[in-house]
Amino acid sequence: MAKKFERPSIEAIAVDPSTIIGKLLGSKGDLLRSNVVIHFHDSDVVYEKFVIGDSSMAFGGLLSQFLKKVFSLTKEFPDSTFFDITLRGAACLQDVLVDLVRTSNLENDLLPRVLKDDFSSWIDPFAPNTFSVSVERDCYIKPLLDILLRGSTILKNQLDVGISRCPHVYYVDIVKLDDNNPEISDAARWIFADVPCGKDGGIGNSFVKFIQQDPAPAEINTKIRKEPFCAAIRNFLLKDISSTLIFNASYNDCLREFNHTREIVSKWIVLPQATTRLDTETYLSATAADVEYFKKFQGEEELIEVVPRIEVEEREFDYRLLDESRNRIVDDVNRIKSKINDINKKMSKNSKFIEECERDIAAAREETKNMNDEYINSIEENSVLNSKIDSLTNEKSDITGKIEKEQRRIDDIQPVIEKLDNFCNIIEKEIDEKEVEHKKVLSRSNELYAMGLDVLKKSEVKLEDIVEQYNSFKKDADYNKNRLNNVMDIFALEKLHESALKDFNGFMNLEKDAKKDFAGICSNAENELNVLKDRVNSKEIETTKELKEIPVRFKDNVQKVKKVIVDSGVSNNIGKDLENLKSELTNYMESEDAVKLRSIFIKNV
């Protein structure tokens, strides 16, 4: 079974045809797999006979080795299978196709050898085809190829030098006739094309340029109608057959052109057709029609059959056997005639036997009538089948049209696929670059994570230190709060100072009044002094009581004031002591300890 899609097979610099044959015919299953093999070559003599071969080649060319391999593989099939193998060859000029077999026999002008405008009678049918020659055995291969080679040489001598190196095409049709399936026969066509290029290879050079353009189906169909070589390998151009291309060149100009052609063809997508199925009866009747066609020329000139020497000797031996058999048969017929005469004499005497024969004849006539009726019915059935065949043919043409449309769609989609491939390559490159960048970022993030983890640990240690400091500060705050409560006693001392200052001012006012009214005061001085003394004594008692509540650091100064008051009484020294006390209190309030206590108090508030 053919593949759904495939690429053309390409070989470069193939000198030994056997390497190509091994790839074309690997097993007997490849026999019925149609293929076109095209050999492109330059003017190097090494490659000129690569396909057809000549006497200088020990094992023959590509076509000879192919036919030998075919006969070798046919032996692997059972005896119920027969292969009908035919061969034809032609030279393709610019607009003319020349059959090589008929060209090899120029004395016979009865059969046409040149085709122009319409090449279908040479190309299309498996049978009938009067250009084909049958290859019955492997011993026929060399004589038939010699005929093709002789026809090519004759044609080359007749042509001008500029066009003598023209393409050649060889068809090998293989039809498999199977007794187990007598209605249908499988068929395959193997096409071998030799395309000279380079010097004096104008047609081949033009064909290479045409392929390099990767032509559209419309251009291909135009070429097929006008040029015999394109018509002969049209299945290759339409991409519906398995293809093998061989490029052989020794010169740089052809090497460059072949490399460019190979790049174009390697991108083709081929959709091979399935194995061809032939109606066996139609094929055999068409083959018989070929024989009848040649019989028309026997009256004017006896046609020569190409037979190998070994086959001729075998046929002469068969003729002798047939002569002996004929003589024996003639003798047997004469004896039978004499017996028939004896029987006729007996039959004439036996009327009863004649009546029985008449009844048998009547029965035979009745049976003949029935057979005629069956024959008429079979004709009607054949007409119905022919109509079905016509409908199937129309359906086949529709399917072919659809395949051509799909092929055009494939041709349109192919550039898009190539652009998508390029786009995917660009995206893959960007992804690789981003992957490298991602790895760098991931490495940097791991470093930052390690640094952050280290900072977190250090922060936890610092936080523990801060908590300890906070607890220490809290203890200091509690201690300072207690000290603040002690400071509050200073405000009581200030109140006492204000009261003492008030009394002192009052005392000084008395002194001023006494100066104003000294005479009156003197009279009452003693009384007033006594009253003042009592007041001072009472005040001393109150002051002594209050001083007991003043901090210890101020007791010395208070004792001094008390001593002055007791020893001196009311005098100017009390004012000085009070001033000294006030200055000490002021100095204490402005001292560093008092400032700290006030700041702590303000913060706590």
pLDDT tens digit sequence for 213-239: 999 999 999 999 999 999 999 999 999
- The H or E element containing residue 452 is helix 351-516
Nearest residue to 135 (alpha-carbon basis) of 147, 149, 125: 147
Q: Residue 284: count other Cβ atoms within 10 Å of its Cβ.
A: 16
The pLDDT of residue 567: 52
Q: Are strands 114-116 and 96-99 parallel, antiparallel or unpaired?
A: antiparallel
Q: Tell me the pLDDT band of 103, cut-offs 50, 70 and 90.
A: confident
The pLDDT of residue 500: 60
- Domain match, 279 and 347 both: no
What type of residue is 182? P
The pLDDT of residue 595: 56
**pLDDT over threshold 60, residue 597:** no
> Which residue has 């109140």 as its token pair?
495
**With contact defined as beta carbons under 8 Å apart, do 185 and 280 qualify?**
yes
**pLDDT over threshold 90, residue 602:** no
- Domain match, 131 and 277 both: yes
The pLDDT of residue 68: 94
- Domain match, 268 and 341 both: no
In the chain, the largest separation of any two C-alpha atoms, in whole Å, equals: 229
Distance CA 553, CA 584 (A): 11
- Domain match, 301 and 322 both: no
Nearest residue to 31 (alpha-carbon basis) of 98, 76, 88: 76
**With contact defined as beta carbons under 8 Å apart, do 185 and 283 qualify?**
yes
Q: Let me know if residue 21 belongs to a domain.
A: yes
**pLDDT over threshold 80, residue 322:** no
pLDDT in tens, 488-508: 555 555 666 566 667 656 655
Mean pLDDT of the chain: 77
- The H or E element containing residue 278 is strand 276-279
Helices then strands, each counted (H, E), the chain: 18, 10
Distance CA 262, CA 214 (A): 11
**pLDDT over threshold 60, residue 518:** no
Q: Tell me the pLDDT band of 533, cut-offs 50, 70 and 90.
A: low
Q: Specify whether the backbone of 324 is left (phi greater than 0), alpha (psi in -120 to 50) or beta.
A: alpha
**3-state secondary structure (DSSP) of residue 579:** helix
Q: Between 467 and 515, where is the model more confident?
A: 467
Residue where a domain stops, chosen among 285, 306, 327: 306
From residue 276, give the alpha-carbon distance in Å to each of 85, 174, 189, 393, 563. Answer: 15, 10, 9, 14, 152
The pLDDT of residue 230: 95
pLDDT in tens, 230-266: 999 999 999 999 999 999 998 888 899 999 999 999 9
Q: Let me know if residue 82 belongs to a domain.
A: yes
Q: Between 420 and 63, where is the model more confident?
A: 63
The tokens describing 255, both together, are 């090497």
- Domain match, 287 and 374 both: no
- Domain match, 321 and 301 both: no
pLDDT in tens, 350-362: 667 667 777 778 8
- Domain match, 266 and 152 both: yes
**With contact defined as beta carbons under 8 Å apart, do 197 and 41 qualify?**
yes
The pLDDT of residue 213: 92
Q: Let me know if residue 445 belongs to a domain.
A: no
Q: Between 501 and 9, where is the model more confident?
A: 9
Q: Tell me the pLDDT band of 187, cut-offs 50, 70 and 90.
A: very high
Bridge partners (DSSP) of residue 97 are 92, 115
**With contact defined as beta carbons under 8 Å apart, do 26 and 152 qualify?**
no
CA atoms within 13 A on the CB side of 487: 18
Q: Let me know if residue 459 belongs to a domain.
A: no
Lowest mean pLDDT among 67-71, 430-434, 458-462: 458-462
- Domain match, 185 and 229 both: yes
**pLDDT over threshold 90, residue 287:** no
- Domain match, 93 and 114 both: yes
From residue 384, give the alpha-carbon distance in Å to each of 115, 388, 389, 390, 397. Answer: 37, 6, 9, 10, 20
The pLDDT of residue 57: 64
Which domain covers residue 586, as residue numbers? 466-604
- Domain match, 525 and 403 both: no
**With contact defined as beta carbons under 8 Å apart, do 52 and 104 qualify?**
no
Q: Let me know if residue 109 belongs to a domain.
A: yes
Lowest mean pLDDT among 16-25, 159-168, 208-217, 573-582: 573-582
**pLDDT over threshold 60, residue 127:** yes
What proportion of the chain, given as a percentage, has pLDDT over 90? 25
**3-state secondary structure (DSSP) of residue 300:** coil
**pLDDT over threshold 60, residue 577:** no
The pLDDT of residue 280: 87
Distance CA 34, CA 188 (A): 5
Q: Between 562 and 471, where is the model more confident?
A: 471
**pLDDT over threshold 90, residue 102:** no
The tokens describing 285, both together, are 């009747």
- Domain match, 371 and 498 both: no
**pLDDT over threshold 90, residue 88:** yes
DSSP for 465-507 reads HHHHHHHHHHHHHHHHHHHHHHHHHHHHHHHHHHHHHHHHHHH
**With contact defined as beta carbons under 8 Å apart, do 46 and 281 qualify?**
no
- Number of structural domains found in the chain: 3
**pLDDT over threshold 50, residue 76:** yes
- List, in order, residues 6 or more apart from 5 with CB less than 8 Å away: 269, 270, 271
What is the mean pLDDT of the segment spanning 562-577? 50
The pLDDT of residue 194: 96
What is the mean pLDDT of the segment spanning 274-303? 73
**pLDDT over threshold 80, residue 582:** no
The pLDDT of residue 525: 53
The domain that contains 164 carries what CATH number?
3.40.850.10
Residue where a domain stops, chosen among 371, 392, 413: 413
**pLDDT over threshold 80, residue 303:** no
**3-state secondary structure (DSSP) of residue 116:** strand
Distance CA 485, CA 483 (A): 5
**pLDDT over threshold 80, residue 177:** yes
> pTM for the whole thing?
0.52
Q: Let me know if residue 428 belongs to a domain.
A: no
Nearest residue to 596 (alpha-carbon basis) of 481, 462, 427, 504: 481
Residue where a domain stops, chosen among 277, 306, 335: 306
DSSP for 178-244 reads ETTS-SEEEEEEEEEEEEE-STT-HHHHHHHHHHHT---HHHHHHHHHH-HHHHHTHHHHTT-SEEE
Q: Tell me the pLDDT band of 311, cut-offs 50, 70 and 90.
A: low
Number of residues that make up the chain: 605
The pLDDT of residue 90: 94
- Domain match, 247 and 348 both: no
Q: Residue 594: count other Cβ atoms within 10 Å of its Cβ.
A: 14
109: DSSP letter? -
The pLDDT of residue 604: 47
**With contact defined as beta carbons under 8 Å apart, do 88 and 170 qualify?**
yes
The pLDDT of residue 535: 67
Distance CA 15, CA 47 (A): 8
Q: Let me know if residue 592 belongs to a domain.
A: yes
Q: Let me know if residue 476 belongs to a domain.
A: yes
Q: Tell me the pLDDT band of 295, cut-offs 50, 70 and 90.
A: low
Nearest residue to 14 (alpha-carbon basis) of 266, 250, 246, 255: 246
What is the mean pLDDT of the segment spanning 558-565? 48
